[in-house]
Amino acid sequence: MIKACLFDLDGVVVDTAKYHYIAWKRLANELGIDLTEEENEELKGISRMQTLEIILTKGNLQNNFSEEEKAALAAKKNDWYREFVLKMDEKEVLPGVEDFLKVLQANNIRIGLGSASKNAATILEVTNMTAYFEVVIDGTKVTKSKPDPQTFLMGAEALGVDPSEAVVFEDSYKGLKAGLAGGFYTIGIGEERVLGEAHIVVEGVKDVTLATFEAFNK
């Protein structure tokens, strides 16, 4: 019996992954480092500072900056990203998401957000999605990044459900691993080759109905 759903934000609820890539690529280029779209896929679901470390390591620059300078670089990237975020509106919500959230509400299935983003609250606000989420566990509340399950375990606890009664929706491999490590049912949003370990893989939330959950009982 599924009692709750926990959604990642970027790439599941809203299409913000492209803005992260533009901002990270701009920062990388300033440092003389190239960042391809394929490499950016590996950065999905992890924290800002972890992403920066990966990019700096790619350019053999990980020892060239103090912690204060690294924080300043990450803040610069976030400023560029927020310029895009503040221009977002309802059109950025991915197909089928709002309709499915309404179905969950109508069936008394609780809804939470579990995201590494420190901009989650802002994104939900500008896209008019805040009211759907009873609980928001984001990068401002956790101490461990995915694939550690902390984000989703905190979400389940706040919603008052056991992980075995909840479904995690994720588009990143690290996020999927977090859901599995926490003992949740998982629905991968994206490609089978990346998310094949999920209990179910679909192209988007638009392809999920309450009947989809019946597969978890088999």
State the Cα–Cα distance between residues 217 and 200, nearest whole angstrom.
Answer: 12
Residue 90: burial class (beta carbons within 10 Å; 0-12, 13-18, 19+): exposed
Is 148 known to be catalytic? no
Residue in 118, 116, 115 with CA at minimum distance from that of residue 47: 116
Which of 8, 34, 79, 99 is labelled catalytic? 8
Instruction: Report d(CA 61, CA 63) in Å as an integer.
Output: 5
Question: Which is catalytic among the residues 10, 138, 162, 171?
Answer: 10
Catalytic site includes residue 138: no
Residue whose token pair is 């990450």: 74
Yes or no: say if 169 and 202 are a contact pair by the CB < 8 Å rule. Answer: no
The beta strands (E) that lie in 164-204 are given as: 166-170, 185-189, 200-202
- Measure CA 3 to chain center: 21
Polymer length in residues for the chain: 218
Instruction: Yes or no: say if 216 and 2 are a contact pair by the CB < 8 Å rule.
Output: yes
Q: Supply the Cα-derived Rg of the chain in whole angstroms.
A: 17
Backbone angles phi, psi at 160, to 5 degrees: 75, 35
Give the catalytic positions in this structure: 8, 10
